[in-house]
């Protein structure tokens, strides 16, 4: 089954979960992975779908063994396991990251997200952010793309969680055009502080 067919089949069966009318293009994949440095540690990818961003991460030198892919779609997860056999592919809701303990005390270098946050409840977005930032090392960032005109995480939620977002870049050569936001902690963690 081709990746494009797989994507459109998933879109037809659950449009809100897929949240896009086409897989991301190479220019967006390049932008969202631009600051990834393989020496910073393992990388988490949320909502990889068919693996467009995953390919870009590998092209930047991230090893498959340093990749954890969190995907809730069963067909996507199956194909990701075939395409990236050495990566850790977890078929789960990204909102369960904080409670699942599947990643233990991981200290991740960064996280890349293709999740359709605008289609999710505030409660779910909150759980995702808490889970991701409990796993990110000091100075680690979450890169999130959106088709919207502003950051898909509302300012008051960022404030509540001690996070801040900045526009990382815009891509017109994508269908639809997209923006990438970089989300980081406002303050660096002290050695005694854990988590978000
Ligand atoms: C907009 S698509 C992005 C796919 C790919 N990253 C790309 O850019 O082409 C959103 C992806 O997030 C997945 N997804 C949606 N909600 C999810 C959740 N709660 N947990 C994990 N994956 C989720 C969908 O199955 C889909 O693969």
Work out the average pLDDT over 6-29: 91
**Rounded percentage of the chain residues whose pLDDT exceeds 90:** 80
Work out the average pLDDT over 166-175: 96
The pLDDT score that the predictor gives to residue 105 is 74
- Kindly list the strands in the beta sheet with 108-113, ordered across the sheet, starting from the edge strand earlier in the chain: 88-91, 67-71, 43-46, 108-113, 136-146, 178-185, 163-171
Of the candidates 148, 145, 182, the residue with the CA atom closest to the CA atom of residue 164: 182
- Ligand 1 pocket: which of 23, 49, 111 to mutate (most atoms <8 Å of CB)? 49
H or E segment to which residue 20 belongs: none
All structural domains of the chain:
3-185 (3.40.50.150)
Read off the pLDDT of residues 61-88 as tens digits, 9 standing for 90 and up. Answer: 999 999 999 999 999 999 999 999 999 9
- Alpha carbon of 40 to ligand 1 centroid (Å): 24
pLDDT at residue 112 greater than cutoff 90: yes
The pLDDT score that the predictor gives to residue 193 is 63
Query: Can you tell me the distance from the alpha carbon of 7 to that of 76, in angstroms, rounded to the nearest whole number?
Result: 8
Query: Can you tell me the distance from the alpha carbon of 74 to that of 23, in angstroms, rounded to the nearest whole number?
Result: 17
In ligand 1, the atom with minimum distance to the C-alpha of 20 is 1
Provide the whole-model pTM. Answer: 0.94
- Ligand 1 pocket: which of 27, 72, 74, 96 to mutate (most atoms <8 Å of CB)? 72
Query: Can you tell me the distance from the alpha carbon of 57 to that of 61, in angstroms, rounded to the nearest whole number?
Result: 7
């Amino acid at each position: 089954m081709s990746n494009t067919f797989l994507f459109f089949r998933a879109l037809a069966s659950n449009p809100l979960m897929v949240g896009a009318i086409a897989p991301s293009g190479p220019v967006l994949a390049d932008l969202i992975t631009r600051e990834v440095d393989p020496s910073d540690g393992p990388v988490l990818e949320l909502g990889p779908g068919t693996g467009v961003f995953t390919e870009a991460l590998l092209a930047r030198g991230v090893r498959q063994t340093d990749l954890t892919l969190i995907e809730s779609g069963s067909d996507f997860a199956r194909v990701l396991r075939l395409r990236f056999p050495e990566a850790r592919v977890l078929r789960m809701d990204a909102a369960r990251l904080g409670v699942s303990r599947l990643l233990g005390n991981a200290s991740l270098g960064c996280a890349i997200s293709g999740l359709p946050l605008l289609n999710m409840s505030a409660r779910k977005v909150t759980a995702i952010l808490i889970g991701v930032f409990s796993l990110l090392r000091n100075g680690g960032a979450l890169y999130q793309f959106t088709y919207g005109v502003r950051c898909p995480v509302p300012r008051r939620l960022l404030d509540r969680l001690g996070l801040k977002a900045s526009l990382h870049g815009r891509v017109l050569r994508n269908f639809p055009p997209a923006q990438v936001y970089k989300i980081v902690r406002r303050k660096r963690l002290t050695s005694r502080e854990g988590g978000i």
